[in-house]
Amino acid sequence: MAVGKMVFALILGSIGTLVLGFLAKWVDRKVTARVQWRVGPPWYQPAVDCIKLMGKETVMPAVAQGTGFLITPLVGMAGACVAVTMLWVMNLELGVGFVGDAIVVMYMFAIPALTTILGAAASGNPHASLGASREMKLLLSYELPLTIALLVAIIHTGGSFRIGQIVGAQQEGSMVFMSISGVLAFLVALLCVQAKLGLIPFDMAEAECEIMAGVYTEYSGPPLAVIFMTRFMLLAALPIFLITIFLGGVQLTGWPVLASLIKFVIILVLITLIRNTNPRLRIDQSLRFFWYMLTPVALLALGLALIGRQYGVGWL
Amino acid sequence: MSDWMQEIWTFIHHPLMFPMVVTALAGLIAYMTARRAADISRFVSLIACVVVLVLTYRLFAGDFVELDVTWLALNDLNLSIAMSNGKFGSLIAMGAAFFGLLIAISAIVAEKGEAEEGRFYAFLCWTLTGAIGAALADDLIWLLICWELVTLCLYMLLNLGKGDSPTSAAKTFGMIGFGDAAMLLAMVLIGATEGTFRINELSIEVDSPLTYICFILFMIAALAKAGAVPMHTWIPTAATDASAHVMALLPASLDKLLGIYLLATFSLRVFTLDTAMRAVLMIIGAVTILAAVMMAMNQHHLKKLLSFHAVSQVGYMVLGIGTGVPIGIAGGIFHMINHSIYKSCLFLTAGAVERQTGTSEMNRLGGLARVLPVTFMCCTIAALAISGIPPLNGFVSKWLVYQGCLSAGSPLAILCLVAAVFGSALTLASFVKVLATVFWGPATTDVAPSGGVEGNGKFALALPMVVLAVLCLGFGIFAQWPLNNLVIPALVDVGVPQTPLIIGNEAIEVSGLSLWGPVPATMLILLGVLGGIGLYLVGKVAHVRVANSFVGGEVLDDESVLKFPATSFYRTVEDMPGLGQALSDGGQGVYDVYRLGGRYGGSLVEVLRNLHSGVLSLYVSWCLVGVVIIALYLMAVL
């Protein structure tokens, strides 16, 4: 792709995802409010929150490493922007991607978590350090089953790391979800996404009532606004990622728009419901959950997918 | 000049021999002046490193030359000094000279005034002699001699360390020596069956028990040198006492270059592997990645932590070569180059930290980013590179290895792929711990700074780190250049059946265009950061108020409670059922083949010792038994 087009895609993709993220956050808050028998905020509330934070002063702890503390949220947002741009472009123009772009997207989605950890460490706050340690362990715990789940989809769609091919194969044939291993892998990936978003039951890195805001304790003003925006973008992008890998991709033309939108909202509401109906796990519990429970499930799915490929049984 | 003098002059002046002669002489001068004039040894070895770098570069870039001098001819046994500048070998030689030069520069400051400074330079030069010789050798016996010289120099260099270094040096020598003995055995077997010691003439199909044994013996030698599981335990043991420079030179770069060179040459060019042997390589690779990185996560001694990563990363190289797919092999070889770069850089930063604070215990370190900004930047770049974060060099080579696994396609390859991807996340985890506890967080008070490292014009200490960090960035962002100019010539040299350049669509992507485009990706990330800065500027980011850390209104008498100790960072993982026990066993050396060998070997020796009772009649009866057996054998044969 030409450079100009790429920059254009980045700007459009990021802003589009951000807007979608504001709306997704609103859906999340609205559903949460309904679950808790409240009315909930108006649709523009998440955006207004961010704008307000932009005008506030920045409080910096005396022991913090200033540059690292302030720059990490920006790098995290940049990582998220590149990830969502790639996701959009590869969904909408199936031929554009390159070999292994799925791995790049996975890595890019890990960058916000990484910068959160580094920023927390730079803030020098003990609660933040505790949160950073938990966030890192959480990243470790879900990365393993998520990788395996992704591989299941790759095996179903012809064994390529290229998102364009993963989506294309699903649109020509059937969705990855339409098989036993696909369902298992999707469920595993859904829980991993829950953890990636840092939502209950996997919010131990911020755990407000326990370690204040954990990794975000010392953040305020514009840096906090940037962190919020990054998280909103992820809230929109990760369900899209799931749709891309397991549910046949996102399409923005004709009737499939509606199908894509319905899938998106269903995943979003599922995530919100999980977060509203579960208590928080401890970090050791979630490590055990992901490594000792979900990983075997994911491996089972991988085995089924490999057997299915070997003997040409599509529904496995 | 008489004839024989002329001959010797031609011999030492031969372009393949000359780098070895230069370093050997420089080492000799450095050794002789070590006690009296360390300045001379420093100067001589620096000059030698520069000269050798130029010479090896000319070998790499120049035309093919050969050297063949027979020094022993007994009937069939024909031993010769045979060398040639194959692309792969001369790449390794050039790499060795490059890292030798950087370490020598860094040592100007770091080793200055040390009691053994002069000898350090001497051994450094001789290490280069051995490494260059081994990389260019075309004769098995000559290869072994040079290879052994590197082992010996490593032993001597480790011996210069502090504390319990003689023990760890002995362990190193024991383990690598075992590998070398295996190699000697394999060479004798090959010499006997194939009738030649020339590497270029060998082409062996691995199908009979004998060829399996030969290959496995070579594999042991290569893996002991490179440090893959289970022959890896010398690296962590050596790391605690050895100086960071020695670690940066040998286990981090030269041993990897040589070990993987040997593995690649023998598994791709000399032997033709079957699927079983490839599977063995892949399993060794995957196990190495995971086991070592798990151990690394729980370390709180900086150099020891790095040394476990020096083991773990070998797994990617072995895995890549084991896939047998051109992309995977390219990834393995590129990873070897990249690993040497970032691991040397990391060990040098660890050296700077140790020099500044006098300790490598991560629990006693903290807040060094302010004191050592350059070290911190270099360490961050190298740490992100080793964790495979795009757009750094580690990402590209790991990505190639992943792609290789996927192309290999077997269920085993897919499982290894999972191990490789997950190992990368674990690597990131342990480097996050390093950055968080060593460079950030509250500064430690109980460690007295011993003179500014970066101030006072200590340019020589910073330069190698910066060069290596820049290489991490450069080889990542402009990955096509090293791939096309360093890796692919090496691939062609080891005879990878189809080079990635000519496989077809997918492969053309590998050598350039629509592969992972590091340049645009980097640009996009930078653009994203710029956009964020724009947001900051729109917002009131300039309105900064500095306040105390928010700890819920608690009044702190002692600021040290703000410190989050390195030991508790991953305690949760240590407490995991099953896994925790395995890790703690690993920490106590339950899986250490050296320790196990010592224990069971000791019992065996004890049995033999008990046979020596000193009773003459018993000895005579043993002799009689022997004579009877020989007589029976002779009767049967005749």
Q: Could you tell me which residues come within 8 angstroms of residue B57 by beta carbon, excluding any fewer than 6 positions away?
A: B94
Quick: pLDDT tens for B423-478.
Answer: 888 888 888 888 888 887 777 655 555 444 444 447 778 888 899 999 998 888 88
CA separation, residue B157 to residues B48, B126, B130, B255 (Å): 18, 11, 14, 13
User: Quick check: B436 and A226 CB within 8 A?
Assistant: no
A-chain CB neighbours of B390 within 8 Å are 104, 107-108
In this prediction, residue B523 carries a pLDDT of 75
Residue to mutate among A69, A140, A166, with most B CBs inside 10 A, is A140
Check B506 against A99: CB less than 8 A apart: yes
Q: Check whether B632 has a pLDDT greater than 90.
A: yes
- At B323 the three-state DSSP class reads helix
Could you give the CA distance from residue A78 to residue B389 in angstroms, rounded to a whole number? Answer: 14
Name which of A5, A7, A54, A63 to mutate to probe chain B: the one with the most chain B Cβ atoms within 10 A of its Cβ: A63
Distance from CA of B553 to the nearest CA of A (A): 11
Task: Kindly report the nearest CA distance between residue A92 and chain B, in angstroms.
Answer: 18
Q: Mean pLDDT across the stretch A39-55?
A: 88
CA distance, residue B429 to nearest chain A CA (Å)? 6
| Interface contact flag, B432 A151, Cβ < 8 Å | no
Q: List chain B residues with CB under 8 Å of A59.
A: 544-547
Residue B272: band (very low, low, confident or very high) from pLDDT cuts 50, 70, 90: confident
Question: Which tokens belong to A58?
Answer: 């920045």
Asked if the Cβ–Cβ distance from B418 to A148 is below 8 Å, we say yes
Q: Provide the 3-class DSSP secondary structure of residue B223.
A: helix
Minimal C-alpha gap between A234 and chain B (Å): 15
Please state the rounded mean pLDDT for residues A177-183. 86
Structure confidence by residue, pLDDT tens digits, B57-88: 988 888 888 888 887 777 767 778 888 888 88
Q: Which of B514, B531, B541 sits opposite A222 (nearest CB)?
A: B541
> Are A124 and B577 inside 8 Å of each other by CB?
no
Give the minimum alpha-carbon distance from A114 to chain B in angstroms, rounded to a whole number: 8
Q: Which two tokens stand for residue B406?
A: 């996927």
Question: Within 10 A of B356 (CB to CB), how many other CB atoms are there?
Answer: 21
How big is the CA angle at B111 (ends B110 and B114), to the nearest 5 degrees? 135
Interchain contact, B549 vs A63, CB within 8 Å: yes
Whether residue B426 and residue A78 make contact (CB cut-off 8 A), yes or no, is no
The residue in chain A having the minimum alpha-carbon distance to the alpha carbon of residue B427 is A140
Dihedral over alpha carbons A242, A245, A246, A252 (to 10 degrees): 80
Per DSSP, the residues of B552-610 read TTPPPS-GGGG---GGGTTHHHHTSTTHHHHHHHHHTTTT-HHHHHHHHHHHHHHHHHH
Burial of A122-151, coded b for 16+ CB within 10 Å and e otherwise, reads bbbbbbbbbbbbbbbbbbbbbbbbbbbbbb
* pLDDT (mean) for A47-53: 88
| B79 phi and psi angles, rounded to 5 deg | -100, 130
Distance to chain B for A130, nearest Cα, Å = 7
Rounded to a whole number of angstroms, the distance from the CA of B333 to the nearest CA of chain A is 19
**What is the predicted pLDDT for the residue at B32?**
87
Residue of B nearest to A283 (CA): B572
What whole-number percentage of chain A has pLDDT above 70?
97
pLDDT tens digits, one per residue of B570-628: 777 777 777 777 777 777 777 777 888 888 888 888 888 887 888 888 889 889 999 99
Mean predicted lDDT score pLDDT of chain A: 85
* B545 touches A58 (CB < 8 A): yes
SS3 B78: strand
ipTM value of the model? 0.84
Residue of A nearest to B572 (CA): A284
| Core vs surface per residue B515-525: b (16+ CB within 10 A) or e | bbbbebbbbbb
**Residue among A96, A242, A105 at smallest CA distance from A176:** A242
Chain B residues touching A1 at Cβ < 8 A? 520
The β-bridge relationship of strands B544-547 and B271-272 is unpaired
Q: Are B519 and B478 in contact (CB under 8 A)?
A: yes
Residues in A closer than 8 angstroms to B403, CB to CB, are 99-100, 161
Residues of A with Cβ-Cβ distance to B429 under 8 angstroms: 136-137, 139-140
The 3-class secondary structure across A109-174, one letter per residue, is HHHHHHHHHHHHHHHCCHHHHHHHHHHHHHHHHHHHHHHHHHHHHHHHCCCCCCHHHHHHHHHHCC
Residue among A32, A27, A63 nearest A45 (CA): A27
> Smallest CA–CA separation between B48 and chain A, in Å?
41
Nearest CA in chain A to B367: A65
Nearest CA in chain A to B577: A288
In angstroms, the separation between the Cα of residue A270 and the nearest Cα of chain B is: 27
- Range with lowest mean pLDDT among B232-236, B502-506, B508-512: B502-506
pLDDT for the residue B628: 95
Q: Would you call B516 helix, strand, or coil by DSSP?
A: coil
pLDDT tier for residue B508 given thresholds of 50, 70 and 90: very low
Give the pLDDT score at B623: 92
d(CA A240, CA A267): 9
Question: Is the model's pLDDT at A285 over the cut of 50?
Answer: yes
> Please, what is the average pLDDT of chain B?
82
User: Would the pLDDT of B312 be above 70?
Assistant: yes
pLDDT band of B302, cuts 50, 70, 90: confident
| CB contact (8 A) between residue B532 and residue A78 | yes
Residue of B nearest to A3 (CA): B520
Of A60-69, A220-229, B15-24, the poorest mean pLDDT is in A60-69
- pLDDT range class, residue B52, cuts 50, 70, 90: very high
Chain B positions touching A222 (Cβ under 8 A) are 535-536, 539-541
Predicted confidence band of residue B248 (pLDDT cuts 50, 70, 90): confident
| A6 Cβ neighbours under 8 A, 6+ residues apart | B520, B523, B524
Section B95-113 average pLDDT: 85
Pairing status of strand B66-74 against strand B77-84: antiparallel
B564 or B380, greater pLDDT: B380
Q: For residue A148, what are the CA distances in angstroms to A6, A155, B293, B327?
A: 30, 10, 19, 22
How does residue A96 score in pLDDT terms, banded at 50, 70 and 90?
low
The answer to whether A124 contacts B549, with C-beta atoms less than 8 Å apart, is yes
Task: Give chain A positions within 8 Å (CB) of B328.
Answer: none
The domain locations on chain B are 275-530, 593-637
Cβ contacts of B436 on chain A, cutoff 8 Å: 117-118, 121, 129, 132
Closest-approach residue (CA) in chain B for A218: B550
- Confidence grade of residue B560 (pLDDT, cut at 50, 70, 90): low
**Are A78 and B523 a contacting pair at CB < 8 A?**
no
Residue in chain A nearest B539 by alpha carbon: A54
The pLDDT-based confidence of B132 (bands split at 50, 70, 90) is: very high
**Nearest residue of A to residue B563, measured between CA atoms:** A126
Contact A117 B399 (CB under 8 A): no
Which residues in chain A have their CB less than 8 angstroms from residue B510's CB? 99
Cβ atoms of B587 and B304 closer than 8 Å: no
Q: Give me the residue spans of the domains in chain A.
A: 3-311
Q: How far is A295 from chain B (nearest CA, A)?
A: 11
Compute the count of residue pairs across chains A and B with CB atoms less than 8 Å apart. Answer: 243
pLDDT beyond 50 at A281: yes
Cβ neighbours of residue B155 under 8 Å, at least 6 residues apart?
Answer: B169, B170, B172, B173
Question: Which candidate from B442, B529, B541 shows the least CB-CB separation from A221?
Answer: B541
**B contacts of A60 (beta carbons < 8 Å):** 544-547
Q: How far is B147 from B133, CA to CA, in rounded Å?
A: 8
Q: Please indicate whether, in this complex, the C-beta atoms of B544 and A121 are within 8 angstroms of each other.
A: no
Query: Do A10 and B422 count as a contact with CB atoms less than 8 A apart?
Result: no
Chain B nearest-CA distance from A290, in A, is 12
Q: How far is CA B475 from CA B56, B198, B466, B510, in A?
A: 21, 34, 14, 15
Token pair 């120049």 is at which residue? Answer: B62
Each residue's pLDDT tens digit, B23-44: 999 999 888 888 887 788 888 8
Assess whether pLDDT exceeds 70 at residue B198: yes
* Residue partners of B370: CB distance under 8 A and separation at least 6: A65, B443
- Choose, out of A12, A52, A60, A74, the residue to mutate when testing the contact with B (most B CBs < 10 Å): A74
Share of chain B above pLDDT 90, in %: 15
Report the chain B residue with the minimal C-alpha distance to residue A85.
B524
Of B436, B562, B576, the CB nearest to A132: B436
- Out of B406, B532, B561, name the one closest to residue A159 (CB): B406
Chain B closest CA to A200's CA: distance in Å? 19
